[in-house]
Amino acid sequence: MLDDKSILITGGTGSFGKAFVKRLLTEHPKIKKIIIYSRDEFKQSEMSQIELFQEHASKLRFFIGDVRDAKRLRRACEGVDIIIHAAALKQVPAAEYNPMEFVKTNVLGAENVIEAAFDSGVTNVVALSTDKAAAPINLYGATKLCSDKLFVAANNMKGSRELSLSVVRYGNVIGSRGSVVPLYLNFLKQGLSELPVTDTRMTRFNISLDEGVDMVFHAIENSWGGEVFVPKIPSFKITDLAEAVAPKFSIKEIGIRPGEKLHEEMITETDSFNTLDCGKYYVILPSMPTWNLDEYQNAFSASFVEHGFKYSSDRNSQWLSVEELRDLVKQHVDPSFQVVK
């Protein structure tokens, strides 16, 4: 499906972007062109020096640009078949104190991506979302929910264009930029004897980068337009994560940060009325689909979840153990990690 295709990735120098480009190059050797679109020229320079990317330099293009800049974005989308929209401002506390900056990037930037897709002959757009967009209590989550709604609704305004726009929503990635694990490991290196935890009751979803990339490939290949894809992934307790990193260290409870949730949700009870179980993934349907629902259900052997169903990190049936969390830290964050006794 991706043979001879050109793909643009907004925010392409982030953790997801690097992992996605690696998978594209190794699993889809007939890809025509990959455009990494981001604001930071230093990160682009660093990314271009990765050995695999140097080997395939003829297929890579690095565009400096911001999703806030509609004109630049349209220029970058010329000849593009698929857009993966990963660019966003993501830090919850920063959003509470800088709300309009998050609106400009996460909401207006999303609309710019949609308009660029409309104007450039793009056939497929997949936007990355977050569990914080479900029943948001912080500004970051609210901007991502608004972004999700824009991409879903755009399917009703595409006219005669052969274009599908969808969303993938998932949870925390252990070891990604801004996550707590690198912070904890840094504390260990500093010789500190206690780990800060916002609230000992806190739970979170977890997904690996590869699983996140898998979701995007799934959306590219299977989206009919307007879906929000949600993975079935495990949860973990923040206290178990602390024990996995430093089992003998004391925990210092510091209180929930501004805009932070005790537990994360990916599907709310209200969403359950429009949610299908498609096996490996849940799919939240658009309120006004542009396709036949019965045909969709038959195509994916899908059935509706029970009314009142809620998919939250504290009600999950899958949980990561301390040992599994420890393995994830070693595998995805620091291969040299050793438990401090």
Which residues carry out catalysis?
132
Within 13 A of 173's CA, how many CA atoms are on the CB side? 21
DSSP states along 50-75: SHHHHHTGGGEEEEE--TT-HHHHHH
288 in Cβ contact with 275 (< 8 Å): no
Structure tokens at 85: 């929209």
User: Distance of CA 228 to CAs 130, 153, 168, 290, Å?
Assistant: 11, 12, 6, 14
Structure tokens at 199: 């609230």
Which residue type is seen at 225? G
218 in Cβ contact with 232 (< 8 Å): no
Euclidean distance between the first and final Cα of the chain, in Å?
50
Which residue type is seen at 210? D
Sign of CA dihedral 46, 52, 54, 58: negative
